[in-house]
Amino acid sequence: MEFKHTTVLLKETIDGLEVKEKGIYVDCTLGGGGHTREIFSRVNGKCTVIGIDQDQIALDYNIEKFAHLGNRFIPVKGNFAEIDYYLQKLNIEGIDGCVFDLGVSSPQLDIPERGFSYNHNAPLDMRMSQDAKLTAKDIVNGWSEEQLFEIISKYGEEKWARRIAKFIVENRPILTTFQLVDVIKKAIPKGARGDGPHPAKRTFQAIRIAVNDELGVLERGLKKAIELLKPKGRISVITFHSLEDRIVKNIFKEATLDCLCPREYPICVCNHKRKLKLITKKPIIPSREELEQNPRARSAKLRIAEKV
């Protein structure tokens, strides 16, 4: 199948890597291969890219697309939280650059049966990996009202989380995306549904994050990627909501410090050493021209750092 996906902040992300010939790069979120293609283009294919993705559709598409590059493109099916394991299996000890493009790809959103979108009626799924066991249906129909409230308020930052959780429990079983949308709309007072994004957006985001453990995976994968960078190696991370961006910002900040001890300590006892320097003091955001061409880019933020 054709894998249509518009890569956000493409030029800025790969500019930040400062790609060099014979370098080794990891595209942690391969998707439609936009970043991988751009990495190769900067050095006429004279580098190696390991592309990681949980989605077999994305992997099959890119295997065909980059077949002419031979073993310079290495596809890996899996979760980027295990980046260290995959590189160890490939006998790769260090990398020159790494890209994380977080969030859900357009094909995942647009294929109804994947169950990610509140705009298509489909079974509640939301798994980024078809091999995973936990689905959105399991969470919506099996988790307690308190558990639902916690994820909707924390991961969705939804002010009506308490009512939505209550209405979900009262209207079980809920088996499809449209059924869930209807319940969410009933839970949110009509006057509060008029302005802003789709009323189901925050709840769907929260459930998707919970299904895929997105924030935990991000924290583990990002820390491992930083360790794997060679000196002067670069890491580019694109986030799409404040929870992701906060994690990236805090991990980058901690990695730029020489000491994590409280200020009142007379001497350092933590043995923490600085690992990164920030290339972007503030995140890069899409230009007006990019937003006109791709409205889905509106919440994207790019942060770049370099291994010291």
On whether 53 is known to bind a ligand per the annotation, the reply is yes
Has 108 been labeled as part of a binding site?
yes
198 is in an annotated binding site: no
Q: Which long-range contacts (CB under 8 A, 24 or more apart) does 217-222 make?
A: 217/79, 217/80, 217/81, 218/100, 218/102, 218/244, 218/247, 218/248, 219/247, 219/251, 220/81, 221/28, 221/79, 221/80, 221/81, 221/82, 221/83, 221/100, 222/100, 222/247, 222/248, 222/251
CB count within 10 Å of CB 159 equals 12
Q: Does the annotation place 34 within a ligand binding site?
A: yes
Residue 307, SS3? Answer: strand
33 is in an annotated binding site: yes
- Non-local (6+) Cβ contacts of 206 within 8 A are 151, 152, 154, 155, 156, 158
194 is in an annotated binding site: no
| Cβ atoms within 10 Å of 106's Cβ, excluding its own | 16
Known binding residues for S-adenosyl-L-methionine are 33-35, 53, 80, 101, 108
Known binding residues are 33-35, 53, 80, 101, 108
